[in-house]
Structure 1
Amino acid sequence: MNCSGGCKTAMSIIVQAFLMAFILQFLAPFFYYTPLFALTALTFSTMLGLINYTEAIHLYKVDKFDFIICNNGEHV
């Protein structure tokens, strides 16, 4: 995901961690009254974009055990 976002170094992970901590600390109260279903749908739709379906389907057909433990993220 970092490569597709244009990140070049591992420093981006540290920046993302600080941003996530900031969001959780200061912006989480704004989401208190948001229905849990809406947050779940948002999270689910975001996660769908992270999966490479063609590779996952191929891996499922070739080896079920590797499919279970596979990392369907980006490949550099």
Structure 2
Amino acid sequence: MADLDRSSDDTSVDSREDTSQDSKLEFTEDEETLIARMYSLLGDRWSLIAGRIPGRTAEEIEKYWTSRYSTSE
């Protein structure tokens, strides 16, 4: 019975991870504005910028910024 409970918990955790990761990749307009303003003040100090946006990591913000604003030559 413990195995049955555990397997159902694993399934729910997996689906939550997928959902939370998808939602974290989308940034609100307010977050985008704040990131741009903070970047102009701090440069690429992602951990400091992430500290101003609850629920976001430095890695997420850096990935967002480089995918949106990187210049490919």
| Structure showing greater relative contact order (alpha-carbon pairs closer than 8 Å, 6 or more residues apart) | 1
Task: Tell me which interval the TM-score lies in, with the shorter structure as reference length.
Answer: 0.3 to 0.5
Normalization by structure 1: what TM-score? 0.34
Normalization by structure 2: what TM-score? 0.35
